[in-house]
Chains A and B, each alone.
Chain A
């Protein structure tokens, strides 16, 4: 076997070898299985396994309004199941199932291509192995699979939604704890692949060879690196900072040129994301506490893809490039011993496209670049009915506005409202 492997390695690069050799794949999968088995059995033999099942279930009913038009009453169900296993103080395995069904739209959901009717469900399975290397250092490896299904029109059934996608993630993460104002610093790398299985460009899938923009144009692979820290300024005054960089590589989306032709080069995007948040807990009386919080999010999105508006013969370079700044002040009141909570937040986001041009109502291009603003007001309350069971009510209102006046295919200026009432249970 060694001789065979050596021969193989001498003739091709390692990556090719891994890709092409079926035997190797089987060996790797076998080793993978053995390794997992090894981990679990050794850990089981060495120590008592502690089982920590955690669960959250929320069942909410509500309604969504687009401007003044109401969608029918719908329900939302969220389930989180976490059958965590602690093999020892050093080693834990955290499997998670997170599922959601949404019959009532979120106010922040896209309003293009049909605004009122939408059902969605998503299922996330993840596995996270946490190794407490030292008292102050953790190493984690994780993998997950997510499936999101959407029904947006009456002719779509579950599994047939145009924008259904699945995502596979693998990653590694390290967490260092400090006895300082920075209480922990977490850094990691993740690779994920997103596939829209029901979506292929019509040009390549249906029309022929005359136009060649690529077939699976929405599918992409992404590499992300991230770093985030937790801060404690005083026991009641805390903060978080989070930076991530994501590189998205579109496998089959070709670059469109000023003449409307497609190059063989493929699209790739880079995203910089910077978040800050601070929160301050202020006990007013024994049974009244207030939390003030402020979140800030900055996004810089860059892409090498352009856009060609065929019906207007208009080429727009750097079509996807934008920067966005968001702010979200929030106040939460905790009342009583159990406690009842009331939360209020206002979220504002401003997005400025660098090259995307404004159009008038007829679709004629102007010289200004598109900007969009969204403001979201949320008010909610949770009332403890019994231990671990809360009654939850929430109402959200969103206003979107833009200097873009062409709205035949996508609405830029609108408002949406939704409300939810339901129960949540935490185990």
Chain B
């Protein structure tokens, strides 16, 4: 984690701590306060629940959070549920069709009488000398601090099941001995027989006991997962935008290439395009700095109309155009200076009187090729210069043709030849400069997966134009990684930026 993130994490944890303390005090302080007076609160859960208050011989509809006292009675209708909460936190949950009377309610003594129905109870540990008992038509259930259930049939038959702690069960009429019921045991008591020996609860009963907690836990986790999906989608949205902007593609060698393209404005009359390519072990970039005849508008498309021939004199034209590519060690540069607009065959065209192509390393650049002219309208008016020798344009073209080799299906297409259907759209152009110094450009037409297109696939999909182009530049003078500059750049940009040896 970065330093800023550590700070943020600290703040987050501080907030979390604050919440924890708030919860802590709310919870425990609430309990302490509640223990001042001993009584029992009736919480309505669902359905029709009625109470009969001591001294009033009629059943009345129970109220929310009603306080009950000794000798009060409570009953639930079909489908109804209710909970009694005692001051010490003990709870008795009444199922449907259950009738329960509070026979005795003192600080250390609770005596309940249950005629019919089912209860699930969670009784806190009984203090020494205290008691918590539940009487049914068949039994007396002495609670030792435990979780248990009691079910009473209409004929008075009682089934007591212990889940936690211990229960003491004795027959109501004193038949037989008291039975101790341990966790996951249950005992059945009839009105006219001694209690039967305890038996183990079934697997289904165990599952039923845990089911509410399991369901609650699953709900909590489900809610968490639902939030997690929203948050994960927010992270996914970020990635989507990166892909849609073409910032991440796969190159011809199966490696991820990250691409970033920027426009900066070093001066009012200049823009500089920067294209950055990063792979795991290399970083290549392309820059294109264009200097215009006057300050540029906000919308650069107004100024870049010079890129094509026009019928009218363009408002914006280039005075200087410098493009460079690099692998951070090696650099190649195409520099066009003394720009002007010339009228050629009735059309206005951007022209440059001077051109220099050089390569090497920073501080050690070698000029491979250049030309000079004066207010030219055609390259036929320039003088080429290479390794100290001068050439007319015609002679230079002859030299270039005899020292250039082209191979691969991509080059065949440029030369109006038809490749074989399975031939990959790869091409290599190599120029051998004086001194047997070789310079080459390799072209790859690749799909989203980085696979090089075959001629057949290209023909099939050419209308969709989904391919990318990767260019690899090599020169004998290079000393950088793998002896190459490897760029995934829109070919149109290279063309507009003048990355080529000028020809007509």
B124 and chain A: residue at smallest CB distance: A47
Instruction: Check: A368 CB closer than 8 A to any chain B CB.
Output: no
Contact A191 B12 (CB under 8 A): yes
Question: Which of B168-176, B235-243, B366-374, B416-424 is found at the contact surface with chain A?
Answer: B235-243
Given the complex of chains A and B, what is the CA–CA distance between A332 and B4 in angstroms?
49
Min CB gap A208→B, angstroms = 9
Question: Is the beta-carbon distance between A155 and B9 smaller than 8 angstroms?
Answer: no
A310 to chain B: which residues have CB within 8 Å? 261-263, 273-275
- Beta-carbon contact of A96 and B223 below 8 Å: no
Tell me the residues in window 120-159 of chain B with beta carbons closer than 8 Å to chain A beta carbons.
122
| B11 shortest CB reach to chain A, Å | 6
| One of B70-78, B185-193, B224-232, B403-411 contacting the partner | B224-232
Q: Is B492's CB under 8 angstroms from A48's CB?
A: no
A261 interface residue (CB < 8 Å to B): yes
Q: Is the Cβ of A131 less than 8 Å from the Cβ of B23?
A: yes
Q: Does A226 contact B (CB under 8 A)?
A: yes
Known A114-B250, A116-B449, A162-B258: A202·B276 in contact at CB below 8 Å? yes
What's the minimum C-beta distance from B8 to chain A, rounded to whole angstroms? 6
B244 sits at the interface (CB 8 A): yes
Q: Which of A135, A148, A190 has the most CB of B within 10 A?
A: A135
Which of B106-114, B314-322, B432-440, B462-470 lies at the interface?
B462-470
Q: Are the CB atoms of B248 and A86 closer together than 8 Å?
A: no
Is A193 in contact with B235, judged by CB distance below 8 angstroms?
no
Instruction: Name A244-277 residues within 8 Å CB distance of B.
Output: 244, 246, 248, 251, 258-261, 271, 273
Interface string of A213-232 (1 = CB under 8 A from B): 10000101110101000000
Provide the bound-state CA to CA distance between A94 and B493, in Å.
56
* Neighbour of A203 across the interface among B9, B273, B276, B304, CB < 8 A: B276
B214 within 8 A of A: yes
Instruction: Provide the residues of chain B in CB contact with A82, threshold 8 Å.
Output: 217, 221
**Which of B16, B44, B271, B468 contacts A143 (CB under 8 A)?**
B16
A395 to B255 alpha-carbon distance, docked (Å) = 31
The segment from A121-129, A284-292, A337-345, A376-384 found at the interface with B is A121-129
A246-B234 in contact (CB<8A): yes
User: Is the beta-carbon distance between A128 and B493 smaller than 8 angstroms?
Assistant: no
Chain A residues with CB under 8 A of B83: 135
Cβ contact of B274, chosen from A39, A128, A140, A210, cutoff 8 A: A210
Selected contact of A410 from candidates B27, B246, B465, CB within 8 Å? B246
Q: Which of B218, B235, B274, B448 contacts A411 (CB 8 A)?
A: B448
Find chain A residues with CB under 8 A from B52 CB. Answer: none
Contact A261/B264 with A29-B13, A172-B19, A311-B490 known, Cβ cut-off 8 Å: yes
For this complex, into which size category does the number of interface residues on chain B fall?
A: 35 or more
Check A314/B274 contact, CB under 8 A, given A113-B250, A129-B23: no
Please report the C-alpha to C-alpha distance between residue A153 and residue B449 in the assembled complex, in whole angstroms.
9
Q: Is the CB of B218 within 8 A of A110?
A: no
Interface string of B285-308 (1 = CB under 8 A from A): 100000000000011110010000
The CA-CA distance from A124 to B298 in the complex, in Å, is 47
- Within 8 Å of chain A (Cβ to Cβ): is B278? yes
Cβ-based interface call for B17 (8 A): yes
Which of A96, A220, A361 has a CB less than 8 Å from the CB of B463? A361
Chain B's closest residue to A196 (CB) is B238
B29 within 8 A of A: no
* B12: chain A residues within 8 A (beta carbon): 168, 170, 191, 193
A259-B298 contact given A86-B213, A135-B43, A211-B262, CB 8 Å threshold: yes
* Assembled-state Cα–Cα distance A320/B241 (Å): 8
Interchain CB contact under 8 A, B238 and A218 = yes
Interface segment among A5-13, A30-38, A57-65, A417-425: the answer is A30-38
Instruction: Indicate whether B345 reaches chain A with its CB closer than 8 angstroms.
Output: no
Report the minimum CB–CB distance from A136 to chain B (whole Å).
8
Q: Which of A29, A203, A409 contacts B468 (CB 8 A)?
A: A409
8 contacts between A and B (CB under 8 A): A35-B24, A90-B89, A92-B217, A96-B224, A110-B236, A113-B448, A146-B228, A191-B15
